[in-house]
């Protein structure tokens, strides 16, 4: 994120992604650093936002990424929000963001050896006085082995998915919640609790980009099979059709819809 988000957007992102593996790891491992910031108070959610943004930018650019200036670029931006003496809060936040990002990249080295070099290139930018080795040790110390295993499994799957961007998901949550509030509120009861808002927004994006009614029903069926949309008491039939039809997202009749989503 290029600008610091208002608190209501930060809360919205956290509530939307509270079951996200990476965010949960940040919450558990980085709260200790948030509590040390007496002025800027960069939250764990903001650390997550910055980390996945940095991660995705590295994924896009690979070795063209400007590794050597990453700490300085981040600090220059964060200190705009920091009134602490000598910007100690911004320096701590920048160090934690870079070290955590390096950590979640490094644990993917079994997928491809060059991820190890990405991580090392990031850590080289952290000033010596920040002691990145100790920061890394403190982060790892807060994560139980079971959570580290979940995080590693998730990251090894995610890092090579060229069409998936955690940073874009964050942006969509903020943008779509403002643009599509009525539609989101109507769809929410039809989705299961896990990552409900994030799944609703992803669904809206997909069906808006879909090419025609058959594509909308195919997407819907997949969401039902993935246990994101509920089919309890046939709520995925007329009730869901009514919402999409009212908002102009599915134009065919109810009987076409019922046949297509009969799962």
Confidence (pLDDT) at 124: 96
Residue 15's pLDDT band, with cuts at 50, 70 and 90, is confident
Domain match, 125 and 14 both: yes
Domain membership of residue 69 as a residue range = 7-158
Of residues 4 and 143, which shows the higher confidence score? 143
Q: Which sign, positive or negative, has the C-alpha torsion 26, 27, 33, 37?
A: positive
- pTM of this prediction? 0.77
Task: Name the average pLDDT for the chain.
Answer: 93
Contact between residue 122 and residue 70 where contact means Cβ atoms under 8 Å apart: yes
Q: How confident is the model at residue 47 (pLDDT cuts 50, 70, 90)?
A: very high
What's residue 1's pLDDT? 58
Tell me, yes or no, whether 210 and 112 share the same domain. Answer: no
**Does residue 105 belong to any structural domain of this protein?**
yes
Q: How far apart are CA 53 and CA 58, in angstroms?
A: 9
Query: Can you tell me the mean pLDDT for 228-241?
Result: 94
Identify whether the C-beta of residue 172 lies closer than 8 Å to the C-beta of residue 201: yes
Predicted confidence band of residue 2 (pLDDT cuts 50, 70, 90): low
Q: How far apart are CA 97 and CA 142, in angstroms?
A: 16
Give the contacts of 50 (CB within 8 A, at least 6 positions apart): 1, 74, 93, 97
Does one domain contain both 90 and 189?
no
| Element holding 229 (H helix, E strand) | none
pLDDT band at 255 (very low <50, low <70, confident <90, very high): very high
**Number of domains, the chain:** 2
Structure tokens at 78: 């964060």
Tokens of residue 235, six digits? 């709520």
185 lies in the same domain as 151: no
245-253 average pLDDT score: 94
Half-sphere exposure of 247 (CA within 13 A, CB side): 17
Judgement on whether residues 139 and 61 belong to the same structural domain of the protein: yes
Q: What is the mean pLDDT of residues 180-203?
A: 89
């Amino acid at each position: 994120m290029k600008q610091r988000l208002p608190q209501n957007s930060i809360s919205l992102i956290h509530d939307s992604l509270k079951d996200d593996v990476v965010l949960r790891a940040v919450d558990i491992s980085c709260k200790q650093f948030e509590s040390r910031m007496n002025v800027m108070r960069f939250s764990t959610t903001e650390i997550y936002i910055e980390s996945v943004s940095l991660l995705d930018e590295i994924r896009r650019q690979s070795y063209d990424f400007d590794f050597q200036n990453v700490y300085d670029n981040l600090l220059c931006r964060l200190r705009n929000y920091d009134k602490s003496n000598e910007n100690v809060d911004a320096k701590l936040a920048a160090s934690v963001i870079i070290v955590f990002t390096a950590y979640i990249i490094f644990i993917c080295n079994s997928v491809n050896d060059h991820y190890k070099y990405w991580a090392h290139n990031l850590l080289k930018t952290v000033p010596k006085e920040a002691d990145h080795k100790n920061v890394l040790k403190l982060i790892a110390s807060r994560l139980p082995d079971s959570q580290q295993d979940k995080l590693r499994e998730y990251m090894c799957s995610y890092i090579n998915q060229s069409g998936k961007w955690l940073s874009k998901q964050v942006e969509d949550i903020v943008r779509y919640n403002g643009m599509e509030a009525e539609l989101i509120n109507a769809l929410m009861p039809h989705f299961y609790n896990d990552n409900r808002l994030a799944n609703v927004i992803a669904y809206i994006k997909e069906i808006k980009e879909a090419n025609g009614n058959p594509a909308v029903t195919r997407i819907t069926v997949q969401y039902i099979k993935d246990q994101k949309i509920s089919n309890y008491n046939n709520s995925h039939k007329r009730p869901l059709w009514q919402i999409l039809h009212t908002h102009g997202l599915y134009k065919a009749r109810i009987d076409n819809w019922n046949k297509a989503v009969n799962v």
